[in-house]
Chain A
Amino acid sequence: MRVYQFSVLKMVESKVKLHLCNGQCFIWNANDADVLRQEFHCVGSLVGCLPRAPRQNTHLGLPLQLLPEETTLLLEKGVAELVSTADTLFDPNEKLIEEFKAHRKSSYCQQIELFRAERKKEILQNLPKIIEGKRAKRQKMLEEKHEAGETVDKEVNEDEEEFNVDKITIPPVPEHHALVQLYTESPYIVTGQSSPPLWSYPSTDQERLRYSVFKDLWEKGYFITSGSKFGGDFLVYPEFVFSIRAFVLMGLFLVTSAAILKIIHLFVRKENQNISVFAGVIAIGAGL
């Protein structure tokens, strides 16, 4: 039975979670993405908007979409695990809703406290200026009264000049001004038994070919990304750099007469782009 829990706990060391959506794998946790890149030289591609600058296409944010080859590899190595996504939107029970509301409320209260504290700090910092300003205002008021003809007690009440910081009222901030978080990753924890989804890549010969090449290169320590933008299958980078100029465009194909044309094509691309072309020709047969 599944139990949904709303949690504010910190992250616990565990396997990288891969979420399956529409047949493709996504990583929603930034730490996971970082771990994969630094430790397992697995790059993937970011497909979401970056929270700090959502309206541009150069820097993207989470989720991180993995190549199917990457997924299979990570699963094989035991680094990652597939997480089942609920088939339908869960029906939150009363308890969860209460919890959530409480969380929001407490967050709001905390914010108010902090806000007050900061405001106080601000006032303290600017206290001389404030006093100065108040005095000037008083003066002005007295002068106006004098001109108006009222008898004025010119003696300024010293007491009024005393300033009690604590007396400064801070207007109440309504709850809807509170800052809230829009969750990227789901904050709700799923506990309980649930079977992980099936992952059936590679299934065809072509896919197996790709995977075997990918695995081989990965084990040699290269960074591999998708090469469809350049017409090939993979882009292979040496491990230390990630410069645009230093990649290898890979084209994979089974040995046929049509393969010859493909090789020629790849070499032609090479002329334009100053890269070395590695044409991987692998024979069909058993034991790929």
Chain B
Amino acid sequence: MHTSLSGEKLFRFRTPLDKSLPQKGGIKDFAPDGSWLQAKKLEKFYEERLQALSEPRVEKSSDLVKGEWNPEKCLVEFEKEKGKFWIHMGFVDVKRKWLYPEEALFLMETSVLEVWYRGLPISLQQAYTFFLVGSLSMEQYQVYLHLRRIGYVVLRHQGRLNFTRYEKQLGLDKYANKKQRKRKQNEKQENPSDKKSEEQISSEMFIPTKSEEADTAAENFNVSARKKHKILIDLPCAKDHSKENSFRMDASVTVDTYVTMETNGSKYKCLQNDKGIDESVDITSCNGNGDKINESNSCSSLDGESHDSVNTSQNNKVCAEFGANRHKCLEMDDECSETINIAISLSKDGKGLTSGLIDQEEPICDTSAAEVKCKHPDESPKSHSMENFQKHLEESDLLDTHSGKLAPVCRVRNHQGWYTSDDLNEWYNLICYNAANNQNLQMVEPDNSLQVVFESDLNQNLHRNVIFPDIGEKDMLVLRRPDDRLLPENITLSDSSLIFNVQNYHKTKSKTRDSRREQNIPYLYELDFSYAGFMRSKFRGQARSWKEYRECVKREEFDASGSTPVQYLWQESEEVVPLVRPENAVSTAAVLQKLQIIQEVDVTKMCKWPNNKEKISYDVYLPDLKFKKSQPGIPNHRICVVRSVDPPPSISEVSALYGYLDDDIPIHWAVVDNGEIAFYEFSPISLPVDITVG
């Protein structure tokens, strides 16, 4: 029972109270004095203490915030806030303001909030009983109280910051608001081990206005490792085969469309792909006649199964995204192929075909591509005959020699649109026919160059062409001439350059570090009595396998360490052996390495299986008036609350936690022991090494 103060007594609290705090700790005496003075001091101390403790919390009713306790949600709801606590406490949900139970308790203790429940106010004692249930334990609340009292901003742990290292480097993580972070968290949860999602996320960061569709499209990307060859066909005599004619393979995709192609006055219609239409992108283009070429390119997800070159390009499509999202494709397509551009121009008189390889555009990914210079028909008219042209195509595996047709999996593209292989074959036949008949081929407008993309399944033939020669026990070697496509431009290999002198190679190779050292410190190696035995760095024994080698080395070591006057110390016991032996004294570094029995590990980075088993309770921020709940930024500390009876976390748990969170925020373990709180931290330190030289 206690006294609930009457109005009279409350009235006394109108005047500001005596705010002096009782003396901490009591009397600073060391020995019992028995004196009256000491007793008096003690009495006074107890009196003050009682007075301070029994003081009630009296506030003007209008100064208090009124809240209502909601036991289902375990939250306190209130309407009007007073003072500054709303800056860093509480949250809004469906237009109502809520406080977490620990926040509410803190505000009650500091006489700011009055919590009601069904018509009656809750006392602090009741609040302790009813608020601290479930996930909020007494220890957690005590830590919260402790930190809040000294002014820190303490929020419940909000998960890890899903930022890449690059973003952290740039400082972008400071500007992410809560919504973005939540979205990232959700995404990360969906694809926990998907590396691509990180790239997606990072690309999302830079392109914040990306639409939802693009995201789904990105997930459908699955480019196969098909080689694509492009043939840039320049029908008229264009003045320069500058890069503008050579199309960039922005979207390394195959798209079948319904487009009409105007070549030589005839119109072709292309097939539309029916399979798996996922997304349609519009391409509107006009041909020379002014007719609108049909749009609706359709794309589908790549299944990458069929490798038959017989299969038409109707299979294995990849999403194409033109226009605004082109750059996206650039990122996603990381397995594009090599491309070779062959410019085939038909001369005006139709005498022959000039062919050449024009500049190959850089592939988007890292696969190497041969670059061959463009040969302009006007500059150096290198007219080839039809056979040569065919040979060209054959060599690049574009022409099927048996059927005499172009490889069926190909597409033709110009700035107007896409065409299928069937049309190309027709065109090719046309060329052949015209060439055969030596007839004039009609010219098409200069900007009407076509880009033909052939898909064939060369399956990395080029890479297989690189052969590493066997130089064991040989003196001279003649190397095979590599594929022209692998060479950089302007390089012509003479025959003499194909001869490889193995002996010279060995000689130059032996100038290694050891030999350099031998040159530098010759005296060491010449000292017969002091160092000769074990300073030899080269293994002089004979071994035919690793096992034998190891045995040999052991034997040598044993021989070397045989005769020392203190040998008896370790010969009998097997447990105690010398840490450093004289033969280890090759250099200071070697000795130090032997002495370092405690290995330095960075706890925060060593874990391979990051997880979040040790639950972090709070994110702590430094007190700041500019703090915003919607954009809290990076926390300064993280707190993990444990009891003193719990075992301390093991190294694996600590490193797992650090690895999971993956940022440089220190984690403190708050150990609570019946009201006493102590903070501990596991932080990596490195032992100092005094000697660094040598």
Contacts and interface: CB of A to CB of B under 8 A. Distances in A.
Contact of B125 (A24, A28, A177, A238): A28
A246 B32 CA distance: 12
B25 A244 contact: yes
A193 interface: no
B678 interface: yes
B461 interface: no
Contacts of A240: 29, 32, 38, 42
A211 to B, nearest CB: 14
A179 B138 contact: no
Contacts of B69: 89
Contact of B56 (A10, A100, A106, A184): A184
B6 A107 contact: yes
Contact of A7 (B1, B52, B150): B1
Given A33-B53, A114-B8, A243 B28 contact: yes
A53 B57 contact: no
B687 to A, nearest CB: 20
Contact of B108 (A57, A175, A182): A182
A52 B19 contact: yes
Q: Which of A33, A97, A186 has the most chain B CB within a 10 Å cutoff?
A: A186
Contacts of A175: 61
A54 interface: yes
Dominant SS among interface residues on chain A: mixed
Interface string B117-155: 111111111101110100001100010011001110000
A288 to B, nearest CB: 20
B183 to A, nearest CB: 36
A12 B9 CA distance: 19
Contacts of A45: 674-676
Interface in B21-67: 21-22, 24-30, 32, 38, 42, 46, 49-50, 52-62, 64
Contact of B59 (A8, A10, A180): A180
Contacts of B125: 19, 26, 28, 63, 183-186
A182 B64 CA distance: 10
A177 B61 contact: yes
B10 A180 contact: yes
Given A179-B13, A243-B27, A186 B126 contact: yes
B601 interface: no
Contact of A56 (B8, B55, B150): B150
Contacts, number: 245
Interface in A74-97: 85-86, 88-89, 91-92, 96-97
Contact of B675 (A14, A47, A183): A47
A106 B8 CA distance: 10
B110 interface: yes
B626 interface: no
B673 A22 contact: no
A49 B130 contact: no
A34 B53 contact: yes
A44 B49 CA distance: 14
Interface string B3-18: 1111110110110011
A171 interface: no
A11 B49 contact: no
A242 interface: yes
A50 B57 CA distance: 9
Q: Which of B7, B10, B14, B124 has the most chain A CB within a 10 Å cutoff?
A: B7
Interface in A199-227: 226
B82 to A, nearest CB: 13
B14 A179 contact: yes
B4 A91 contact: no
B58 A181 contact: yes
B154 to A, nearest CB: 14
A55 interface: yes
B117 A242 contact: no
B150 A228 contact: no
Contacts of B59: 179-180, 182
B266 to A, nearest CB: 87
Contact of B674 (A24, A109, A180): A24
B2 interface: yes
A6 to B, nearest CB: 8
Contact of A11 (B3, B61, B126): B3
A241 B30 contact: yes
B114 interface: yes
Contact of B121 (A47, A62, A183): A183
Given A12-B1, A28-B125, A115-B11, A92 B138 contact: no
A10 B2 CA distance: 6
Contact of B11 (A28, A114, A186): A114
Contacts of A56: 149-150
A21 interface: yes
A55 B151 contact: yes
B4 A181 contact: yes
A37 B22 CA distance: 16
A38 B4 contact: no
B223 interface: no
A182 B107 CA distance: 11
Contacts of A24: 138, 674
Contacts of B644: 228
B71 interface: yes
Interface residues of A, number: 89
A45 B675 CA distance: 6
B1 A229 contact: no
Given A109-B7, A176-B61, A229-B676, A26 B128 contact: yes
Contacts of A229: 676, 678
A108 B688 CA distance: 70
B261 interface: no
Interface string B403-440: 00000000000000000000000000000000000000
A45 to B, nearest CB: 4
B46 A34 contact: yes
A48 B57 CA distance: 13
Nearest to B119: A97
B631 interface: no
B657 interface: no
A17 to B, nearest CB: 9
Nearest to B115: A182
A176 B64 CA distance: 10
B4 A111 contact: no
A111 to B, nearest CB: 5
Given A179-B58, A181-B58, A186-B125, A47 B142 contact: yes
Contact of A186 (B22, B123, B142, B671): B123
Nearest to A238: B32
A245 interface: yes
Q: Which of B32, B109, B142 has the most chain A CB within a 10 Å cutoff?
A: B109
A65 B674 CA distance: 7
Contacts of A85: 129
A268 interface: no
A23 to B, nearest CB: 8
Contacts of B114: 180, 182
Contacts of B138: 21-24
A229 B142 CA distance: 16
A228 B678 contact: yes
B5 A181 contact: yes
Interface string B630-653: 000000000000001000000000
5 contacts: A21-B132, A45-B674, A47-B675, A114-B7, A183-B56
Closest 6 CB pairs of A and B: A110-B7, A242-B26, A30-B54, A183-B123, A107-B7, A45-B675
Interface of B: 1-8, 10-11, 13-14, 17-19, 21-22, 24-30, 32, 38, 42, 46, 49-50, 52-62, 64, 69, 71, 108-111, 114, 117-126, 128-130, 132, 137-138, 142, 145-146, 149-151, 644, 671, 673-676, 678
Given A51-B56, A53-B19, A240-B42, 18 more contacts: A9-B1, A10-B3, A19-B125, A47-B142, A48-B145, A54-B109, A55-B110, A67-B674, A85-B129, A92-B120, A97-B119, A182-B56, A186-B125, A189-B1, A228-B671, A242-B25, A244-B25, A245-B30
